[in-house]
Structures are given as structure tokens and as C-alpha cells.
Amino acid sequence: MYRYDQIDQTLVEERVAQFRDQTRRFLAGTLSEDEFRPLRLRNGLYIQRFAPMLRVSIPYGLLSSRQLRMLGSIARRYDRGFGHFTTRQNIQYNWPELEQVPDILADLATVQMHAIQTSGNCIRNITSDHLAGVAPDEIVDPRPYCEIIRQWATLHPEFSYLPRKFKIAVTASAHDRAASEVHDVGVHLKRGADGALGYEILAGGGLGRTPIIGQVIRDYLPQAELLGYLEAILRVYNRHGRRDNIHKARIKILVRALGVQEFRRQVEEEFEANREVAPQLPAAEVARMRAFFEPPAYERLDDIPETSGPGARTASLAPYQAWYRYNTRAHRVSGYRIVFVSLKKHGAAPGDITAAQMEALADLADRYSFGMLRATHDQNLVLADVPQRVLGELWQALEGLELATPNIGTLTDMICCPGLDFCSLANAGSIPIAKQIHARFDDLDYLYDLGPIEIKMSGCMNACGHHHIGHIGILGVDKHGKEWYQITIGGSAAAPAALGEVIGPSVPKEAVADTIAKLLDVYIEERQDEHERFLDTVRRIGVEPFQERVYETDHSPA
Amino acid sequence: MRQIIRRRDIVEDELRYPGEPSTAGSVDVHSASEWIAAAVAGSAPGPGAVLLTATDEAEALAEHLAPLRWIVIDFAKIGEGRGYSQARLLRQRYHYARELRARGAIKRDQLFFLARCGFDAFDLDPAEDLIAALGALGTFSVAYQGGSDTLVQVRRRLPDAAA
């Protein structure tokens, strides 16, 4: 992983000192709430329903065991003993004291972490593929490019007061695991006609109350020109993005208003005009960054067929097999396997993890996966480089920590925002709905029969839970002070990204799981075979059969 | 008398913004449209001072920069960010080298970024402590990006393209 040098370390320490002074001035009354708000947000600090919420940046989701131990220690010392992994590969603490936040940031700086630009109208954490570096289908490791963009974006003097937040995702695989098409900018590593590395650039995607799929604005950009091109996009946006209406201030609205052709023309014109002074990305810098992301020292191992693996000897077979099948994935190096750590246990809020779990998991990462972990967009964690011969031991350890629920990719591997339980923006609860769905669909055999289904849930139209791109999306709405839920189906984060279609009027809180059960009944009846996913069935037959089933009783005369 | 930060000093301001009464020795600041119209008509008064609002285009001034001694960029609201790009364009693309002043809803917290974008004078929120604000020019000793710095010095790992 990237390791800070003196410049990086000095920068985070100076940022801590700056924020400590800003907090002191706010508490002393010399900064008003209106003045302090944009300053604290730029450092990930929200004032929520009950307490401040601090969002800590995990650049492109990559964590060392040492960093995870510190996150656990922070949860223990400054919070109520847990943290919450988000849909953008970050972690949030829901109960810190404002006065202690500078100390938390100082602790984070000791392990090369920070909360810079995790909120506010600026360039946010760069996200990427959680399988970067181990994915069998990637053309190059995207993480060096993520780190290059992270540094360029960090405390950028020109782009720190944008019209609205700005999210960049970088991928290098045919299979998009980073939802890059619904980001303000998507950067896709690709090879040009001559085989040279470069990028396809998308712009104008986003979720929120106006979900839009991003469009390609540059088919191929040479490797060295990445930062100059991003600078051109940001400058056009910073100057011409709307600032009069917070709901129309994202770049997607600008791209839509101008039309993609005109937006592209303006970006290209700015790019050309700025060429002489634009930041360059020399090949030597790319090489320097790549060196930080070299593969770990893999042993020469042979693949072990699953049934003859150690799990079969040391553990009761069926649960281990289920875990192996659902929570592990093929690795591109023989003898290794990718392990997902499920943060979707029944009864817990999706993405929640305790301090004790973090500390134990850090130890497991040291013992079994080169001391590294990744946070995923689906609010789980990944141990990416596990020798197959230790899978049985690892499974037992994860079972003991309640981190082995064999449900990755299934219906109960839901993602959800903090919702009404924590967030002051929310219209409705998300976590109670997650629990309702968990309780209703607790039969693993049924879940496995359903195959891969992504449920994504947001407590309001700001869409932190990405409901638009869930195979099943659930959006909390407020109706006369009561919590109701609008259901969409057919959304997808993976290419081709798609926005779900609303099936009809929203349903009351107590009917959400029943409604989903009806959708699933239609799927089971209509699917061509067990290999046709829920999403594919929706795409093939459309939403009508689902609508008819859900609302059939509504058609009876009143 | 209004005090401003000019480079690393606190000085009394000789400029009078649109709507403010002139005094002996003061210099009136013109709106961008006024200045451009006068320049096109060949009657631009000197020594010139212009106020750019967030919606004025820096490009429009490009051909009329020579007689200008002051450009003031207005930050009307907390969080206004267009002036940072205007400043970069004036300094980098149009090579404007005289005073570039930020004024309005800005405090010490924005000073470092403003200076890195090429501002060298600051008419801050009246409530701000100017001595403390001067200290903010040293908030960071390092940076990842190139800048139009004349006021702050930072260590960087990568040189600018033009360097």
C-alpha cells in the first residue's frame, strides 16, 4: 500500500493543527455555526441527530491491520465501541464528542490516516474496485492511479469550494465493482489502439434526488494527461456549475443542461488552453506509485479442491461449504482465495463493526492475509490474499467473531444508510427495515435458491444507500409523519448501470418484507432457470408482472 | 479607515469599492462591465481598479489588463468558490502580475488556498483578526499541487509542467 513520506505526514499533521484551531474558535464563539459548518464538513464532521458524526477516509478502501487496530481503538476510546463502514469505502463514528475530534484526527495521523474531504463541497475520497490487484479480469492495478488522484485532489487550492460534492471512481476491469457510472467522474483504465495505457473518462453520473448515468466525454486519454484533464473538468464545473440551488448543483445537472456535446467541448477547450501549465503525470511518477502496490510475497502453492480442504476435516461440513461458496472468491494466484468478511449479520445494522471485531480482524489479517484488508462498496470487508490451506482455520475464527454469515451477494447482503436512527436528513428508518428483511428471509436455503440479489436502501432521497441502483431499491419517504417505503426494481451498479423503476405507490413500514416476498415469488415463478438472476428476469419481463402481484388486492373495489 | 492584508503587511486601503464615497488620494474601483466599456471606448481611467463578481468572466478582461493596477475578486457568500478559478486564470493564462485582491466572506481559513491561487491582498470579513490571519499564510508548509504562489512557500514532490 502507499506509505507516507515526510511531505504526506507533514500535510496531515498540519491539517490536524488547523482543524484543532478551527474547533477551538468555534467553541470559543469566534466562528459562527455558519462559518464553522463548511470547515468541519471538509474534515468529515457532521452534526447529526444525537451527536456529531465523524467520517474517516479510507482511500480506495485499502487498510492495513495497524490502521484497522487504530480504528478499533478510536471506537473504544471516543465512541460507543463500534464503527460503521459506508457505501463509499469509508468508516463513520456516530458518537464522538466535538471537543475530542481533533484528538481523534491526531491519532489517525499516527497511522497515516485522516478525515480530509470526506464531506463538504469538495473532491471526496477516491473509490475503486475492492478487488484491485487480485481481480482476475483487471488490465492493470488501478490503485496507483487512485493514489495519484488522491494526492492531486487533497487540499487542492482551486477546487476546495466547489458548487457541491464531487466523487471520482477509478476502475480497471470489465466488471465494474465501483459503480463508476454513477459518479461525478468515472476513470476507466484502458489500453489504446497502440497498446499504451490510458483512460476512458465519464462525467455527469450521480444518484441523489436526480439519478443520472454518467456519459463518456473522452474515449481515450493518454496516461500522462490524467491530472490536466481532471483539472479541466473541475475548472469548467467550478466556474459554471449552479450555486443557486443545492439540489441542482452537482456536475450531472451542468452536463445535462449543457448537453454532453457542449460540456465535452468546454472541457476540451479548457484542457487545450491549460496544456502548458497543467499538472503532468510523468511515467516515473506512475512507476514510483506502482512500486507501493506490488503484489505481496505469495508462496508457490497449488490449488486445493474445496472438498478436500482443511475445512472438511476440522469443521462441520455444511456451514463451511456455504461460507466457502458465498463468502470466498477465486484468486488469480494459485493456492490463494479472496475472503469476504460479512458485516451483514442478522440483527446488526449493515456495515456495523465493534471495536473488538476490528482488533481481532486486524490480527487475522496479519496471520492470514499479509496484514491488509479492503472495505467494499457493499459495506463488507475483504481479506484478499488468503492461502487456501488456512481457510478452515480462518472460517472458524470468523465464525467466532460473528463475521462469517454466509450471505455475500445474497438478498440479506443489503446495503443501507444510517437512516432515521442516526441521520438528521432521513425521512425514515433504514436499519429497522434491514432487520425486518433479515428476520423474514432467514432461511439460507431459500436465499441461496434466489441467487444473487442486491437490495439497496436509503432513508431519504439523498440516496446514501444507492437505492436507485439496487436490483431491489428501497427508499424511505415521510407521509404525514409516518415512515413509508417506495420500492424500485431493475437497478444495477454494474455495467451496464441502470436505474431502477418504481413499482407503484409506497408501502407502509410493516409491509416492506411482505412486498419483497411478493416480488421474489414472481421471480421464482417467471425465471427461465436457476441461472437467470432476479435482475435478468426483471429486464426480460419488465416490471408489470411484479406490479400486478404487489398491488393486486388494491384493485378490488373500495 | 479599512485595513487590509497586502502581501505580508497590514495596511490602510486606498481603494473605494462601487458605492463607497471617494476621499483625497483614494482610488475608485470600477465594475468589470464599466471598465471594459471604457477601455473599448478608449477612455479607461488610470490607475485602474476593477471589481470582478463571481459571475464575471475573467476572459472578458484579458485584453484590458495592461492599465490595471488592482483587480478585486468578490466572495459574496461563505463557500463561494468561483474566484479561485478566476484568480488562476488571471495569473496563469493572462499573466496579470499586479495586485489581486480577495474580498468578502472570507476568513483566515481560506487565506492559504487563496494565496496559492495567486491572491496577494485580502480584504477579510470585518470580524476577522488580521494579525492571526497573517499567521494563516503558514498553515501548510507542503502541498501536492502547483500554484500561483508569491506569498506562501511550500515543498512539493512534483514540479509544474512549465517549471
What ipTM goes with this model? 0.96
The Cα–Cα gap between A62 and A146 comes to: 11
Whole-number pLDDT of residue B159: 64
CA A301 to chain CA centroid, Å, is 32
Evaluate whether A222 touches A192 at the Cβ level (below 8 Å): yes
Determine whether the interchain pair A11/B144 forms a contact, defined as Cβ–Cβ distance below 8 Å. yes
- In this prediction, residue B43 has a pLDDT band, given cuts at 50, 70 and 90, of confident
Looking at chain A, how many residues does it have? Answer: 558
Whole-number pLDDT of residue B161: 57
Whole-number pLDDT of residue A558: 43
Torsion-angle region of A117 (φ positive above 0: left; ψ -120 to 50: alpha; else: beta):
left
Looking at chain B, how many residues does it have? Answer: 163
Whole-number pLDDT of residue A422: 82
B139 at A interface, C-beta within 8 A: yes
pLDDT over threshold 90, residue B86? yes
B142 at A interface, C-beta within 8 A: yes
Rounded to two decimals, what is the model's pTM?
0.95
Q: How many CB pairs under 8 A join A and B?
A: 107
Gyration radius of chain A's alpha carbons = 23
Picking from A31, A152, A157, the nearest residue to B147 by CB comes out as: A157
A 10 A CB-CB count for B139 gives 19
Evaluate whether B150 touches A277 at the Cβ level (below 8 Å): no
* Angle at CA of residue A277, ends A205 and A194, nearest 5°: 65
Q: Which three cell numbers stand for residue A219?
A: 474515449
Determine whether the interchain pair B107/A22 forms a contact, defined as Cβ–Cβ distance below 8 Å. no
Write out chain A's pLDDT in tens, 558 residues. Answer: 999 999 999 999 999 999 999 999 999 999 999 999 999 999 999 986 667 899 999 999 999 999 999 999 999 999 999 999 999 999 999 989 999 999 999 999 999 999 999 999 999 999 999 999 999 889 999 999 999 999 999 999 999 999 999 999 999 998 999 999 999 999 999 999 999 999 999 999 999 889 999 999 999 999 999 999 999 999 999 999 999 999 999 999 999 999 999 999 999 999 999 999 999 999 999 999 999 999 999 999 999 987 644 545 554 558 899 999 999 999 999 999 999 999 999 888 899 999 999 999 999 999 999 999 999 999 999 999 999 999 999 999 999 999 999 999 999 999 998 888 888 888 899 999 999 999 999 888 999 999 999 999 999 998 989 999 999 999 999 999 999 999 999 999 988 899 999 999 999 999 999 999 999 999 999 999 989 999 999 999 999 999 999 998 654 444
Q: Which three cell numbers stand for residue B118?
A: 495567486
Q: Can you state the angle between helices A101-109 and A65-78, rounded to 10 degrees?
A: 160
Determine whether the interchain pair A277/B139 forms a contact, defined as Cβ–Cβ distance below 8 Å. no
Q: Which three cell numbers stand for residue A221?
A: 486519454
Beta strands in A204-335 (DSSP E): 215-222, 328-330
Whole-number pLDDT of residue A309: 47
Distances B121 to A124, B45, B70 between C-alpha atoms, Å: 30, 22, 10
The Cα–Cα gap between A476 and A487 comes to: 9
Whole-number pLDDT of residue B21: 94
DSSP letter, residue A306: G
pLDDT over threshold 50, residue B116? yes
| Beta bridge pairs of residue A505 | none
Distances A189 to A104, A145, A285, A390 between C-alpha atoms, Å: 36, 9, 17, 34
A 10 A CB-CB count for A21 gives 18
Helix, strand, or coil here: A88? coil
Reference A209, options A509, A467, A416; nearest CA is: A467
Interface of chain A against chain B, CB under 8 Å? 5, 7, 10-11, 14-15, 18, 22, 30-31, 34-35, 38-39, 121, 151-152, 154-163, 228, 235, 238-239, 243, 273-280, 282, 285
Distances A169 to A57, A147, A197 between C-alpha atoms, Å: 14, 12, 17
Best A42, A161, A266 residue to mutate vs chain B (most B CBs within 10 Å): A161
| Beta bridge pairs of residue A91 | A56, A85
Evaluate whether A94 touches A84 at the Cβ level (below 8 Å): yes
Evaluate whether A228 touches A278 at the Cβ level (below 8 Å): yes
B156 at A interface, C-beta within 8 A: yes
Q: Can you state the angle between helices A33-41 and A6-28, rounded to 10 degrees?
A: 160
The Cα–Cα gap between A427 and B2 comes to: 48
The Cα–Cα gap between B12 and B31 comes to: 22
Whole-number pLDDT of residue A496: 87
Q: Tell me the mean pLDDT in the region B123-130.
A: 96
Q: Tell me the mean pLDDT in the region B140-151.
A: 88
Whole-number pLDDT of residue B104: 97
Q: Say which residues have a Cβ less than 8 Å from residue B40's Cβ, sequence separation at least 6.
A: B64
Reference A411, options A383, A381, A433; nearest CA is: A433
Q: Is the dihedral of CA A47, A50, A52, A57 positive or negative?
A: negative
Determine whether the interchain pair B144/A39 forms a contact, defined as Cβ–Cβ distance below 8 Å. no
Residues 77-136 of B with CB under 8 A from A: 78-82, 84-86, 88, 92-93, 107, 109-110, 112-114, 116-117, 127
The Cα–Cα gap between A335 and A441 comes to: 34
Picking from B78, B80, B158, the nearest residue to A35 by CB comes out as: B78
Gyration radius of chain B's alpha carbons = 16
Give the residue from chain A lying closest to B106, CA to CA: A35
Determine whether the interchain pair A282/B78 forms a contact, defined as Cβ–Cβ distance below 8 Å. no
| Beta bridge pairs of residue A473 | A456, A488
Helix, strand, or coil here: B27? strand
Q: How distant is the Cα of B55 from the closest Cα of chain A, in angstroms?
A: 8
Reference A45, options A93, A112, A82, A78; nearest CA is: A93
Reference A175, options A391, A330, A296; nearest CA is: A330
Distances A104 to A72, A75, A434 between C-alpha atoms, Å: 12, 10, 30
Q: Which three cell numbers stand for residue A201?
A: 473518462
